[in-house]
């Protein structure tokens, strides 16, 4: 789950890109959570990453042995990024303080 622009909850869903790739997109920040099935053995099978909108390199990535675990980790990392994005957006969009150049006039 994520939050929409009005700070209401909105559900993000996994989408299948190919038989070996899944993606989830945060609707507000545009960041993508991606899971790739590498077909490797054991703990290195599923590679997950979080990629911000307009970027090509991940800001977080890792590997795990199970798809459910990869989804859980990716969802939490994407949620954390989305919350930071919203907090930063709120701060940068706030009205700057008014500076009175001529106090007392």
Q: Are 62 and 50 in contact (CB under 8 A)?
A: no
Residue 67 structure tokens: 């798809």
Mean pLDDT of 23-36: 94
pLDDT confidence of residue 45: 97
Checking if the pLDDT of 101 tops 90, the result is no
pLDDT confidence of residue 8: 47
The pTM score is 0.73
**Residue 8, C-beta contacts closer than 8 angstroms, at least 6 positions apart:** none
- Residue ranges per domain, the chain? 2-90
């Amino acid at each position: 789950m994520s939050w929409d622009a009005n700070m209401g909850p909105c559900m993000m869903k996994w989408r299948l890109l190919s038989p070996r790739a899944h993606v989830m997109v945060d609707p507000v920040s545009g960041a993508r959570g991606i899971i790739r099935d590498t077909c490797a053995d054991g703990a290195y099978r599923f590679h997950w990453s979080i990629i911000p909108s307009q970027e090509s390199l991940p800001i977080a990535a890792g590997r795990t042995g199970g798809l459910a675990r990869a989804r859980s980790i990716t969802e939490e990392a994407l949620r954390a990024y989305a919350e930071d994005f919203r907090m930063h957006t709120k701060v940068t969009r706030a009205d700057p303080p008014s500076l009175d150049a001529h106090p007392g006039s």
